[in-house]
Structure 1
Amino acid sequence: MRIRNAAAGGLLAACCLIGWGTPAHAGTEPTETTTAEGVEGTEGEAGQLGDAEGGTEIEHAAEECIHILEDGGTVDDCHEAPSPILPPTNELIWGSISFTILFLLLAKFAYPGIKKGMEARTERIRDDLEGAESAKVDANRVLDEYRAQLADAKAESGRIIEEARQQADAVRREQEARLQTELAGMRSKAAADVESAKVQAVADLRREVAELAIGAAEVVIQRNLEHDTQVQLVDRYIESLNNRSN
């Protein structure tokens, strides 16, 4: 739409320039025709110059001289060199008018489209910047969430490791307590076995000592003693030995 408006404005300006330039050129032709008779001498001098430079240059010089005479100049002014910088007055006027019209047309048709295009471009750039900023904010948010999850995972792993260590310590203490209990039971059983063996050994020793003592007593006194009497004698003897040892 903006390109179409600009093209329409340029085409309209070109049509206006062409339309206004044609009447101006047509308006100058009658003047040139009517004044041609008054400047025959000048055309004669221009014709002499034309023999040296060519017919086309002669016609151009003659036209310029006619314009100078129409503007109130003299024949001597026809021989002055034109300005290499400033254009003729009529061209300057028509150029200024054309430039003004073209500028107004561009300002009316092309400038709004260009302005809208610049505003749309600015808005698009602003939207892109806002989108980039939003994407940056989202990326920072995702990064913060990832860091938080990583911190939670580290804390959870630390908690699991601590629980495992505590459980291992509890199992170790339980095993140590059970082992100590088993060792205490084994010690108690061993002590009981030792005591039982000791009692059995003492009983066996008493029996053997009693038998030896009875045998010796029978040999000495040459008579048999009653069994109960023998046992009493042996017990008394052993008790007397124990009393002595104590």
Structure 2
Amino acid sequence: MLLTTIHLAVADNGDEGLVLLPDLSELVMGLVAFLLLIAIMFKFVFPKLNETLEERGTQIQGKMEEADAKLVEAEAAKREYEASLDDARGEATQIIDEAKATAESLRADILAKAETEAAQIIERAQGEVAAERQRVVQELRAQVGTMSVELASRIVERELDATTHEGLVDEYIQRLSNQN
């Protein structure tokens, strides 16, 4: 119908009517060539294009699944890392607690040892003081005895023998001790 309308329009105006429209035989040949080109494309090009698109879709789907699997693996690795990090923190806390307990035990041992040594030093010093006091008392007795003998000798103007001398010294010291 379109061809008939075009043909009639050309016939009414003569050859100068529609210059833009091709000749009917050219139009038919162009239409046949176009349909042949479409048929060839549907037969050869579109199946290849569809196959390529399907392969690409399959590749994309595979990569998406692979990415999902890697995401799941990464999340599992993250959970494992966090668990081992929590374990490490727990171990560190335990080590710190053990170190504190050990330090406290050492401190208590050192304090006990220091107190024992201090008590021994005090006891030794008290023993030395007592020994020194005893030595000083002995020296004083000897000096007091010698002085009293000299004094008595001068007073009595005579020399005392050793036993008399010791008796006088002991008696004098006894009197001094009784007075204190």
Q: Aligning the two structures, in what range does the TM-score lie when normalised by the shorter sequence? A: 0.5 to 0.7
Partner of 1:195: 130
Partner of 2:176: 241
Letter in 2 for 1:129: M
Q: CA deviation at 1:199?
A: 0.9
Q: Report % sequence identity.
A: 30
CA distance in 1, matches of 2:133, 2:13: 165
Deviations 1:36-93 (A, max 9, x none): xxxxxxxxxxxxxxxxxxxxxxxxxxxxxxxxxxx9x8xx858332534444445445
Partner of 1:112: 47
Unaligned 5+ segments in structure 2 are 1-6
Structure with max Cα Rg: 1
Identify which of 126, 137, 149 aligns with 1:214.
149
Paired positions, count: 172
Residues 102-181 of structure 1 correspond to what in structure 2 (within 5 A)? Answer: 102-146=37-81, 148-149=83-84, 152-153=87-88, 156-157=91-92, 159-161=94-96, 163-164=98-99, 166-181=101-116
1:83 maps onto 2:33 in alignment: no
Letter in 2 for 1:242: S
Superposition TM-score, scaled by structure 2 size: 0.66
CA distance in 1, matches of 2:92, 2:21: 90
CA distance in 1, matches of 2:68, 2:21: 56
CA distance in 2, matches of 1:119, 1:107: 16
Partner of 1:62: none
Superposition TM-score, scaled by structure 1 size: 0.52
SS in 2 for 1:80: helix
RMSD after superposition:
3.8
